Amino acid sequence: MAPSTSDFTGFEPGAIQFLVDLAENNSRDWFQPRKGEFERLIKRPMEELCVALEEQFRARDIPLHADPARSPFRIYRDTRFSKDKTPYKTRQYAVVHLGDQGLYVGIDAAGLHLGGQVRSAEAGR
């Protein structure tokens, strides 16, 4: 079932503790038995937040887009070329798009975050 605005009630207090614990135990052996907990505490609420944001943007004719399937970042790190081989990101972010510009909403051990990015036309050259 696709999340709806009424589904987003915020992140449970246990979400931040989960990310603290993940930072202290960043291994597949620790994460795999707790993957369901990650999905309940972090992944699903982030997807629900994206749905809620998208609905609010549409209702106000704001040209930003938050897609619950594409906006959230993956929890898995790409360690192929990194000296840091820990397999998981210890924060969960989603990007809200407006072309090449975007806002980031996220949660990590320190709490909730909001940030922005503006790329000039020259940046891609």
**What ranges do the domains of the chain cover?**
12-124
pLDDT digits (tens, 9 = 90+) for 5-42: 568 899 998 999 999 999 999 999 999 999 999 999 99
Whole-number Å distance between alpha carbons of 117 and 2: 28
Q: How far is CA 34 from CA 15, 31, 41, 86, 118, in A?
A: 12, 5, 11, 16, 36
Q: Which residues pair with 103 in a beta bridge?
A: 96, 116
pLDDT at 125 over 50: no
pTM given for the model: 0.83
CB contact at 8 A, 15 and 112: no
Q: First-to-last CA distance in the chain? A: 42
